[in-house]
Amino acid sequence: MHEISGLEELNRSVLENGLCAACGACVGRCPYLTKFKGKTVKLDTCTVEKGRCHAYCPMTFFDPQAAGPALFGTAYDNSGIGNVIQSTAARSCAPEVRSIAQGGGVVTSLVSAALEEGIIQAAVLTSSADDGFPCGIVATDRHAVMNCSGSKFVGAHTLEALRDALDRGFDRIGIVGLPCQVRAIRKMALLDLKNEHLQERLSLVVGLFCNWALSVRELLPFLHAELKGHAVKKFDIPPPPANLLIAYTAENQTIEIPLDNVRQFIQKACTVCGDMTSEFADVSVGMYEGRPGWNTVLVRTTTGSNLIKLAEEKRKIELEPFPDENLHHLKSAALKKKLRETDPQGRSERS
């Protein structure tokens, strides 16, 4: 078991090294930490020796071998995409969802179905904001979920909103997050330092595929110059070989930005992350390369499997087989990212 420390160690090993993933796990739990324009900021010294800030941070420690049996009931599969009981292609059955969502709108439809069927009472999601800095919100109905549709491609401190969901007394909470956020959520549930019954209350974790996220603090000035004042409805990064960041404006214009021009804004934390497919989620969702308008779905737990079956039965989503060739390609890409993984001190975490 890794030793849990406090804020001063978190500051030394993560914040001062530029390794914060902007997941939001700490700022929702520590009075000495806050977010400011996309950055996690330490406000004062803290003398707590074993703090939740350090314990729940995805950049301090994480033991896949311990998490595997606790979550999946079996050993952790480190072959590339983690433990998977079903891989499938899927898309939303609702045209109004597909028109605003990323890919096939599966995440929006799954979360909406979970709320409508009472599987969860609330969902912690990432919402756009007028100031350009996305943030976490607590959604309790389909309308709120749809307002959060679409990938943001930046670190957004989403998990700060979990504090709000817990304080409001919700006992069945869903989370949609990036791999770093999923790791933080699982650490919260497994460690649960304040006996908040997190294992029971965190009822659904939907993970997103992610190669990297951008630092919104650094990205915004660049976009302001590139977009020349145009308001953006949605961003997209199409699969290779496009190599583009595409902005869809409120005036229905399409602005293409070479991806190489924004790579400089990739968060440093992402360069030491080996999880491309949110391996510790109940169900993971990503783009389906070569099949526009559809998503790749990896089902990992019984919770995830039951939700997929329910959503299909209720005609919220439709499924089709995911080709073995595509699965092999996904595993290969994920393994390459995993092979590059090191912890902040440069040691391999694949042992």
Domain match, 136 and 229 both: no
Give the C-alpha separation, 292 to 124, whole Å. 27
Domain match, 115 and 183 both: yes
Domain match, 207 and 159 both: yes
Domain match, 80 and 130 both: yes
Number of structural domains found in the chain:
2
Gyration radius from the chain CA atoms: 19
pLDDT at 248: 87
- 29 belongs to a structural domain: yes
- 26 belongs to a structural domain: yes
Q: Are 277 and 183 in contact (CB under 8 A)?
A: no
Domain match, 240 and 318 both: no
- 346 belongs to a structural domain: no
Give 208-265 pLDDT, tens digit per residue. Answer: 999 999 999 999 999 989 888 788 888 888 887 889 999 888 888 899 999 999 999 9
Cα angle 215-161-71, degrees, rounded to a multiple of 5: 90
Domain match, 233 and 88 both: no
Domain boundary among 264, 283, 303: 264
Q: What is the mean pLDDT of the segment spanning 168-176?
A: 98
- 251 belongs to a structural domain: yes
Domain match, 77 and 202 both: yes
Residue with token string 């770093």 = 180
Residue 21 CB neighbours (<10 A): 26
Quote the domain boundaries for residue 222: 216-264
Domain match, 21 and 47 both: yes
pLDDT at 229: 78
- Residue 162's nearest CA partner among 187, 180, 137, 179 is 137
- 229 belongs to a structural domain: yes
Give 283-339 pLDDT, tens digit per residue. Answer: 999 999 989 999 999 999 999 999 999 999 999 999 999 999 999 999 999 999 998
pLDDT at 347: 39
Tokens of 112: 């909406």
Domain match, 328 and 226 both: no
Domain boundary among 264, 291, 325: 264
Domain match, 88 and 224 both: no
- 75 belongs to a structural domain: yes
Domain match, 167 and 209 both: yes
- 85 belongs to a structural domain: yes
Hey, what long-range contacts does 71-80 have (CB within 8 A, 24 or more apart)? 71/186, 71/280, 71/300, 71/301, 72/300, 72/301, 78/338, 78/350, 79/331, 79/335, 80/330, 80/331, 80/332, 80/334, 80/335, 80/338
- 106 belongs to a structural domain: yes
pTM of the predicted protein model? 0.94
Q: Are 263 and 215 in contact (CB under 8 A)?
A: no
Domain boundary among 239, 264, 289: 264
How sure is the predictor about 342, in pLDDT bands with cuts at 50, 70 and 90? low
Domain match, 123 and 191 both: yes
Q: What is the mean pLDDT of the segment spanning 111-120?
A: 98
Give 3-50 pLDDT, tens digit per residue. Answer: 899 999 999 999 999 999 999 999 988 899 999 999 999 999 999 999
